[in-house]
Amino acid sequence: MESRVSQIRYLDVTDEKVADIILKLQIPSYMVEATLINFYDIPPLKDKVETLQNCGERFFGYYIGNELCGAISFKVEGKTLDIHRLTVNPKHFRKGIANQLLRFIEEQVEGIEKLIVSTGSENKPAVEFYLNRGFTIEKLVQVSEQLSLTCFEKKIAR
């Protein structure tokens, strides 16, 4: 009998099999974002196993039983944690997985004074998600005629 217990654990993205599993999670998740923002040239949709293996990000995954249902990745520079990816399998949207992953890294990573993240400005669910979790909008960046990014910041009180 398979356990349905959920847990968050470190993912070694340099392992080819792990990178492949992350990629299979990431593509459908970012396709939803691409559809929302009507822009399909976003970098995560171009990733391959090799680009994930060499991205230099730390990954944590949210599992239900043996299924990877969500993942978060980041880099730390000084006292700033820069979230690069926060993905959830679309069949697991609205189950609190992204919130649990975000809370996990806020609690686990020592010495951080702020978190930063960006998302497509037209990705209203993501914009609301970050605003509802204490992030503030720092700036809007017009990447191209078709794409605008909203950049967020959250100060960490310790």
CATH of the domain at 118: 3.40.630.30
What's the pLDDT score for residue 131? 97
- Residue pair 47/23 in contact (Cβ under 8 Å)? The answer is yes
**Residue 61 belongs to a domain:** yes
Summarize pLDDT for 7-53 with one digit per residue, the tens. Answer: 999 999 999 999 999 999 999 999 999 999 999 998 999 999 999 99
Give the span between the Cα atoms of 67 and 131, in whole angstroms.
29
- Residue pair 101/71 in contact (Cβ under 8 Å)? The answer is yes
**Residue 28 belongs to a domain:** yes
**Residue 90 belongs to a domain:** yes
**Residue 91 belongs to a domain:** yes
Residue 39: give the domain boundaries.
6-155
**Residue 139 belongs to a domain:** yes
Mean pLDDT of 131-149: 94
**Residue 111 belongs to a domain:** yes
pTM of the model: 0.92
Summarize pLDDT for 48-100 with one digit per residue, the tens. Answer: 999 999 999 999 999 999 999 999 999 999 999 999 999 999 999 999 999 99
**Residue 14 belongs to a domain:** yes
Our count of domains for the chain comes to: 1
